[in-house]
Amino acid sequence: MMIKSDTKDSRTFTAGLVNIILPIYGVEEFLPRCIESLLAQTYQSIRIILVDDASPDRCPQLCDDYAKAYQQIVSIHRQNGGQSAARNSGLEYVWGLESEHRGEYIAFVDPDDWVEPNYVESLVRLIRSSKADVVQTGHYISYSSTREESKDPRNTKAMLTYDEALESVCRNGIWDVTVWNKLYKLNVFKTLRFPEGKLYEDTAIAHLIVAQGNRFAVDMTPTYHYMQRYTSTANGTTWKDSKLDLLEAGDALADWVEARYPQLSIAATEKRVFVRLSTLAQMVSTNYRNDALAASMRKFVLRNACAVLTDQQASLRDKLGVISIACGYPCFRLVWKQLYKIKRRGSTG
């Protein structure tokens, strides 16, 4: 069930309207910062769609208050269904409008993150100049109020074909699986929706997004701040079996690629290795013990170790993971725990 809290559906926006969808749950502490950063955009033709996923805190009231105060903000309330369901509700809202009011583009922002004032403008300029179907900006990984690092300090700029973007998704390359650092032409999400009831929906849909386009552009100059929260579902320090959704999503992506593009089979295998190393790392981080599961994933990684280690395009992260797991699971645990401590140093949690 979805309830709109505004009556602004008939507004006419200027050309180039960007719909920005925020799935909101349990982020009262961070939501104002996120919304204020969007209101401060140098690019004015935006519609901010706040989707309250039955948040138990003050987020529902905050959404309504902002919608009343600012014409470009829409507040939507729905029954709790998770982040994918909330994003889908935002998409259904846009496609439920008359065609002249839908706008030209879609973007997603997570409500505990925030953006630079030129976030939207830089993406719109890039998608217009490149004539791409989807474009990607760079981002900072924010560990605390005083510690951030750029995902790509080189600020790489690149044009990618369909095949190159798909391979990059498999190899966790410059074109990544995250949806919140991108701008999409509206038609990319005409029928495409996020899988509901699952975590790691970005991985689950990444290849399907690529399948909607032909040209992809990247400017990794960072305009987005991704907050590394260790109380979030995906990054939290408590084990939940839903963390295994990453295995399902990664294998489904690899299956899809191998069935259609056998020339990318090595890249697809590296995606399978990546999601297993990541899941093993989650087990270490949460102190979760499941010897049979760990042994099964380790066996898979070792069976494909040669392919990863001899591939010049494989990531250094994956190669280090393969080497450490080859030395035994205790070695992998030790290495990861040390890396974990370094990464979380000074984190606000």
Each residue's pLDDT tens digit, 228-259:
866 555 556 789 999 999 999 999 999 999 99
Nearest to 152 by CA among 136, 131, 166, 138: 138
- CATH number of the domain at 49, please: 3.90.550.10
Average pLDDT of the residues in 120-138: 98
Q: What is the pLDDT of residues 50-94, one digit of tens each?
A: 999 999 999 999 999 999 999 999 999 999 999 999 999 999 999
Containing structural domain, residue 31: 2-227
The answer to whether 215 and 128 are in contact (CB under 8 A) is: no
The answer to whether residues 213 and 71 belong to one domain is: yes
The answer to whether residues 123 and 187 belong to one domain is: yes
Residue 170 lies in a domain: yes
- Cα separations (Å) of 199 from 32, 219, 234, 319? 25, 27, 7, 25
Cα(234)–Cα(282) distance, rounded to whole angstroms? 9
Q: pLDDT category, 11, cuts 50, 70, 90?
A: very low
The answer to whether residues 18 and 76 belong to one domain is: yes
For residue 331, pLDDT over 80 is answered with yes
The answer to whether residues 146 and 36 belong to one domain is: yes
The answer to whether residues 300 and 174 belong to one domain is: no
Number of domains in the chain: 2
DSSP letters for 69-133: H-TTEEEEEE----HHHHHHHHHHHHHTS-GGGS-SEEEE--TT-EE-TTHHHHHHHHHHHHT-S
Nearest to 246 by CA among 179, 180, 199, 193: 199
The answer to whether residues 200 and 127 belong to one domain is: yes
* pLDDT the model gives residue 338: 81
* pLDDT the model gives residue 236: 60
Which residues is 158 bridged to in the sheet? 218
Structure tokens at 304: 């494909």
Residue 246 lies in a domain: no
The answer to whether residues 179 and 283 belong to one domain is: no
